[in-house]
Chains A and B, each alone.
Chain A
């Protein structure tokens, strides 16, 4: 039992924290969002230089062989800056699907490009009506010689409008909600038959609705077993949830700092509003909720690498519940304690609030994950 970082982890933390503190202030972020892809290509190059894009990959694939703790360090820092670059999409989701699902040849071909910042990815998984069920897939993949032909529609594909390649879940067999018969396919975003409708998201990023109309995928684009990709998808989504939990901690910490600073400087009735006990207690409750969330972010980080899939997913679900509950409470208090200025676009706290709100809806909100833990028979059954 130890919560200490290794020397390498400490250095990674210093470097990414410094980057966010120096280069990712709120005004600069507005500029990044205004760029053509909705994020800064220059930042992406810097991430590559700092080794951030290489974090989870093996050394022979151009990576630095980091684990869940390294990812946590990066994501927490990104939360403090509400980073809009496609790190989750490309490195955690796309990179994760390749790392856990792809053949050695595919990994050797693709991962070094991801690590070098030359290839961006997006995960096309959600469908209209599938909500948070990863096994609810209607998009079809029909066998066609050595490859497949994809037809269907995917929605809210994070960074789907700018990604170079898409990782798409599609059904090769069974019916809409069967666990078996789901394949994973790597599709060039500009391939014939792919049409993308990009849009801004509520939290300053980009998303896309994507249609696949007789899109041909060669054997080199089939990732893993085309009838049995769901376990890999579930594993990677659990890792992504753990990463989101870490990001949420950065977001919540920043909301708390902004709020407490404001309470110390904003004066009403001739005194700083932070001298009012009713407000002090709200701020104290924010601390309680953040510390509980931080604890569960650590727990998710540790358990996202567990060998047993059931144990892993229950733990990650439990963390997502806590993050959702804490995030909503902390965000709402942060806005309330700021008063009117908290509801303006001009001031930063509301943007953290928006990101926090969307983290809850990513890969299952608190209610969704609570019912998963409840159905599984709770957290302490094997005590």
Chain B
């Protein structure tokens, strides 16, 4: 047992960090540090920079463009990406539909879609949740009826993240309404330009446009866009959600945020002293750091176990990562709220649209204050999405404890 990184692993970390330093636009990094959102074009450009370097989809099999790194290097890359911070490649493509396509898709689908995902030529979004199907996802009602060489899709999806940018959506649809609910579901790839699709924005608590409702009204989808077998979609969805959960601890994100909180708390003052010298505050911060250190070690244990685990089978320990990872992320938003104090109050909307210029008005209060409360409000989502923390507890109770 040796829990230290090897010199080779540390050198790899340096190489990754140096690449980010040399290739990421510093203005984009600043945006991320300040908690502002990047534009579609910024993510496209950055993804292509990574992809040109061979790092677009590091965790994919080498034959589809992966790097062949072992799990520890995958983790180091991801952690450095989050901690730098640099924008993460679009999860709906590289972490969700990509692995489903290379695992269950046919040759034509692999050949067409995988390179386009890696290069962000196609922007993907996820059509899983419905108004009546949240935690009980398998109860979904969106129907796909086979009609010759295509399916006709009718129904509604919701919480569809960044669907306003999307070229494609991967959807769970009901193809056999008579079967048991998990057994009548199929996995369809749908071109967002198909007639009959309507995207309607949902405004979140922070005032931002991040998620949408997507309506399907007699949408014709060619049968070649079915992934795997008809009525086996639930298996592919479980596979996808298992993949999603291993990345969900977001240790690097929380590390970067705690670093930022420590930095800002040495500028903000309580009375005569910087906040960071206040015993109550610094103990709260230290407590969060300790929880994060424990989570990091738990994440590394899950990664180490991956080597010996059956491929494609999710580890129930990833539910532990989801619960703790989301709690710690939320804790960082609360700490930042503590630091900003009264200047949490002013509401300064972020400029919308691709090329909206930043306001020439001077900031109200500290220049980092505007995003603090919105992020706190918005990040309540992290214990809800990706299988709510209560669903994760069900998984632990069943899969680990046998209750």
Interface residues of B in 313-327 (CB under 8 A from A): 317, 320, 323-324
Is B297 a contact partner of A295 (Cβ separation < 8 A)?
yes
Partner of A321, one of B72, B285, B287, B403: B287
Stretch at the interface among A25-33, A154-162, A198-206, A366-374: A366-374
Is A373 a contact partner of B290 (Cβ separation < 8 A)?
yes
Known: A2-B1, A373-B286. A378 touches B397 (CB 8 A): no
Known: A1-B9, A296-B297, A380-B255. A287 touches B401 (CB 8 A): yes
Is A302 a contact partner of B3 (Cβ separation < 8 A)?
yes
A284 in the interface (beta carbon within 8 A) = yes
Partner of B298, one of A274, A291, A371, A383: A291
Q: How far is the CA of A5 from the CA of B298 in the complex (A)?
A: 17
Partner of A292, one of B6, B9, B291, B304: B291
Partner of B1, one of A3, A291, A380: A3
Chain B residue contacts of A287, Cβ below 8 A? 320, 396, 400-401
* A168: min CB distance to chain B, Å: 33
Is B279 a contact partner of A281 (Cβ separation < 8 A)?
no
* Bitwise interface map of A from 49 to 86 toward B, beta carbon under 8 Å scored 1, else 0: 00000000000000000000100000000000000000
Is A380 a contact partner of B259 (Cβ separation < 8 A)?
yes
Identify which of A5, A264, A287 gathers the most chain B CB atoms within 10 Å of its CB. A287
* A180: min CB distance to chain B, Å: 27
Chain A residue contacts of B400, Cβ below 8 A? 284, 287
Is B301 a contact partner of A295 (Cβ separation < 8 A)?
yes
Q: How far is the CA of A2 from the CA of B9 in the complex (A)?
A: 12
B271 in the interface (beta carbon within 8 A) = no
Chain A residue contacts of B37, Cβ below 8 A? none
B5 in the interface (beta carbon within 8 A) = yes
Interface residues of B in 216-252 (CB under 8 A from A): none
* A146: min CB distance to chain B, Å: 45
Chain A residue contacts of B106, Cβ below 8 A? none
A89 in the interface (beta carbon within 8 A) = no
A379 in the interface (beta carbon within 8 A) = yes
* B85: min CB distance to chain A, Å: 13
Interface residues of B in 272-294 (CB under 8 A from A): 279, 282-283, 285-287, 289-294
Q: Size range of the interface on B?
A: 35 or more
Interface residues of B in 39-96 (CB under 8 A from A): 72, 83
* Bitwise interface map of B from 311 to 352 toward A, beta carbon under 8 Å scored 1, else 0: 000000100100110000000000000000000000000000
Chain B minimum-CB-distance residue to A299 = B297
Partner of A293, one of B293, B294, B392: B294
Is B298 a contact partner of A292 (Cβ separation < 8 A)?
yes
Chain B residue contacts of A275, Cβ below 8 A? 403
Q: How far is the CA of A164 from the CA of B28 in the complex (A)?
A: 67
A11 in the interface (beta carbon within 8 A) = no
Partner of B2, one of A1, A318, A375, A379: A1
Q: How far is the CA of A355 from the CA of B177 in the complex (A)?
A: 56
* A353: min CB distance to chain B, Å: 19
Is A284 a contact partner of B393 (Cβ separation < 8 A)?
yes
Chain B minimum-CB-distance residue to A280 = B397
* B256: min CB distance to chain A, Å: 9
* B320: min CB distance to chain A, Å: 5
B181 in the interface (beta carbon within 8 A) = no
Q: How far is the CA of A283 from the CA of B285 in the complex (A)?
A: 28
Is B298 a contact partner of A1 (Cβ separation < 8 A)?
no
A258 in the interface (beta carbon within 8 A) = no
Q: How far is the CA of A236 from the CA of B8 in the complex (A)?
A: 32
Q: How far is the CA of A379 from the CA of B295 in the complex (A)?
A: 13
Is B293 a contact partner of A69 (Cβ separation < 8 A)?
no
Is B300 a contact partner of A281 (Cβ separation < 8 A)?
no
Partner of B402, one of A9, A260, A293, A374: A260
A37 in the interface (beta carbon within 8 A) = no
Chain A residue contacts of B393, Cβ below 8 A? 280-281, 284-285
Is A318 a contact partner of B290 (Cβ separation < 8 A)?
yes
Partner of B295, one of A292, A294, A302, A373: A292
A288 in the interface (beta carbon within 8 A) = yes
Is A383 a contact partner of B304 (Cβ separation < 8 A)?
no
Q: How far is the CA of A378 from the CA of B9 in the complex (A)?
A: 24
B394 in the interface (beta carbon within 8 A) = yes
* A155: min CB distance to chain B, Å: 28
Is B6 a contact partner of A1 (Cβ separation < 8 A)?
yes
15 contacts between A and B (CB under 8 A): A2-B3, A3-B3, A3-B301, A4-B1, A288-B320, A291-B298, A296-B297, A298-B297, A299-B3, A299-B297, A318-B293, A370-B286, A378-B262, A380-B255, A380-B293
16 additional contacts (CB under 8 A) given A3-B300, A293-B294, A296-B294: A2-B3, A260-B402, A280-B403, A284-B396, A288-B320, A295-B298, A295-B301, A296-B290, A302-B1, A302-B2, A302-B3, A318-B289, A318-B290, A322-B291, A375-B282, A383-B83
Which residues on A are within 8 Å of B, measured CB to CB? 1-6, 9, 69, 260, 263-264, 274-275, 277, 280-281, 283-285, 287-288, 291-296, 298-299, 301-302, 318, 321-322, 370-371, 373-375, 378-381, 383
